[in-house]
Structure 1
């Protein structure tokens, strides 16, 4: 193996590293929103797409005639199946579409950097973050209720659970899904997916929930 060959493969490795970093950046935003696919998933998708793109471009250079796009084209459809596994349908509502779309777009970032289009990959990363962060905020008043995730830690027993249900019902908050896990330190962790009215003051709601001693902590996914 010549020095030029080693140098060239070193440059290709830098492409994979750059794609991995961009994937981590996108995944970090998803992790902060407690989504199913976070830093590791996005990083692996990005570096994997970059690796496959590099193989597609340079892995068959010893073949006289080959279609460099054939292998790379399968990334788009392959990542589509991965994204489909993140989409959930619960109580006639769909969740995970944004994360699935983000994974699909992250694979495009990896393909761009793998092809040597660094500027395209970095700019796409920034644009995805802008869409995920800026567009997530509510700039306009809407009559549509909002879907949120609330996370509780309560003392072991039914009192805290009953109090949570009572307060949510009082504020006309619809519970669409609930998960409970009993911990060794005699506490129960509760994840509640709810639909809340737009006019609801969430800070006041959280403060009211914390007034009960059996509720040790409460936070929203925002």
Structure 2
């Protein structure tokens, strides 16, 4: 493989992965601009190593036909390791925050960027470019479509004070599921760190819930329903 071909493939990997990573970076996701570029470039390098290994094996066989049965080169073996191995990096992008999970889309984007990198390294430029454009469309344009048409809801932040975390958490989960309310994020007070080492359920705790509620759910109705629980002291919409 010539030097200019290697440079060209690496540049394509940087441009395509950079576009995808920029979209993730703009949304403050755990894996952003540089991470996506590194994953794509790494996958492209693996593909080019595999191609070079195959070409080298063929060259040796041509020079010495006796090596035909001794030298073997599997074009897809190293690429398969990349596709499966990238799962560890994707898992690191998934964050579990006491009731909510974030980073699944970023993990998926890392995986597909690795696949695009393999295509670039193998020289499938049209496939790689069209795939990159598709990913950018899915992450950017379809995100707006999803928010507008697939799930019509309103984002709300509610602050809840309570004195029995276990009971209240279960009550809130059941209530939100019943009313088709999605929990986007949960923030606990610093005092909750101490609660993990004690069994004191009488201490007043505060949690900030970011929820996505259907249009028909009114804030006043939400406050009224939650305040009916005896362990919930105060509920306020921010």
TM-score by length of 2: 0.60
Which one of the candidate residues 5, 11, 15 is aligned to 1:11?
Answer: 5
Q: State how 1:66-215 maps to structure 2 within 5 Å.
A: 66-137=73-144, 138-140=147-149, 142=151, 168-169=158-159, 176-177=186-187, 194-199=210-215
Structure 1 portions without partners, runs of 5+: 148-166, 181-191, 201-222
For residue 146 of structure 1, report the CA deviation from its aligned partner: 5.1
2-structure distance, mates of 1:78, 1:179: 37
2:200 corresponding residue in structure 1: none
Larger Cα-atom Rg = 2
1-structure distance, mates of 2:149, 2:130: 27
SS at match of 1:66: coil
Structure 2 portions without partners, runs of 5+: 58-70, 161-181, 191-207, 218-238
1-structure distance, mates of 2:21, 2:115: 14
Q: CA RMSD in A?
A: 3.0
Q: Deviations over 1:1-27 (max 9, x none)?
A: xxxx6xx13212210121111110000
TM-score by length of 1: 0.64
Does the Cα contact within 8 Å between 1:143 and 1:198 map onto a contact in 2? yes
